[in-house]
Chain A
Amino acid sequence: MSAARNVDQVLLTAAAVMILLAGALVLYRVWRGPSMLDRAMALDVCAALMIAGIAVRSALNRDAFYFPVMLVLAFLGFTGSVGIARFIAVRDRPPDPTRAGEEGR
């Protein structure tokens, strides 16, 4: 039984590390992203990774204390990217060379 519980601990710790690594990569995309749309999508994925991280923490501690936070993130995680896509990215024109080629077509 104790060996199986150690396996659980190792799997959950590895899951937490992978989620943190994924969060770092997504934040790199937020920093780097050539357009606001990339940043909006990366923020969406960031909310999903927050939910996953809270889930791993709940599984490690076996408590349901932060489940309402997961619920609110699942509700509202998409509003940022919807707002960006609807109102901001219209003014965010693509770089000139490709656009010029597209206009002349």
Chain B
Amino acid sequence: MSAGTQIADTAGAVLLFLGAAVSLLGAIGMVRMPDVLSRSHAATNPQALGMLLVLAGVALRLRSGIDLGTLGLVGFFQLLTGPVSAHLVARVAYRTGYAGREGLVFDDLDAQLSAVPQDGEGGTGPGGGR
């Protein structure tokens, strides 16, 4: 085994280690954060940065073309689907009152949501869930 491949192996192992460390920090944040939105902030850590670091590490250790393509697809779909679920969870958390409103500095959405039932009938309102 030549020196170049050994360097790539070790760099891949270091990237995997860093990705696992970021994932562990995100999990610790999920346990220790106080409410849903800040836990969602911590949960993004292993989903985006930790995942990309881990995939880059594996790509450096397995250096063949089709494996790189599969790893690229994994990273692409992970980055595509993470914001969807985070957005839906945060939306429902706000509208059902789990968001911890006393910690918010600005709350422009509250005025708009409160205005809906007064203006027209049939509005779903803050707890409507749509």
What separation, in Å, do the CA atoms of A11 and B13 have in the docked complex?
6
Interface contact B27-A25, CB-CB below 8 Å:
yes
Which residues in A have their C-beta under 8 angstroms from that of B92? 37, 85-86, 89-90
Tell me how many residues of B have a C-beta within 8 Å of chain A.
Answer: 59
**Interface contact A94-B129, CB-CB below 8 Å:** no
Q: Decide if the interface of chain A is mainly helix, strand, loop or mixed.
A: helix
Interface positions of B from 25 to 61, Cβ below 8 Å from A: 26-28, 30-31, 36, 39-40, 43, 46-47, 50-51, 54-55, 57-58, 61
Which residues in B have their C-beta under 8 angstroms from that of A86?
A: 88, 92
User: Using a Cβ cutoff of 8 Å, how many contacts connect chains A and B?
Assistant: 194
Complex CA–CA separation, A37 to B16 (angstroms): 29
Tell me the B residues contacting A by CB distance below 8 Å: 1, 6, 9-10, 12-14, 16-17, 19-21, 23-24, 26-28, 30-31, 36, 39-40, 43, 46-47, 50-51, 54-55, 57-58, 61-62, 64, 66-67, 70-71, 73-75, 77-78, 81-82, 84-86, 88-89, 91-93, 96-98, 101, 127, 129
B67 x A78 contact (CB < 8 A): no
For A26, the chain B residues whose CB sits under 8 A away are 27, 30
Give the interface of A toward B (CB within 8 A).
Answer: 1, 4-5, 7-8, 11-12, 14-16, 18-19, 21-23, 25-26, 28-29, 35, 37-38, 40-42, 44-45, 48-49, 51-52, 55-56, 58-59, 62-64, 67-68, 70-71, 74-75, 77-78, 81-82, 85-86, 89-90, 92-94, 98-99, 102
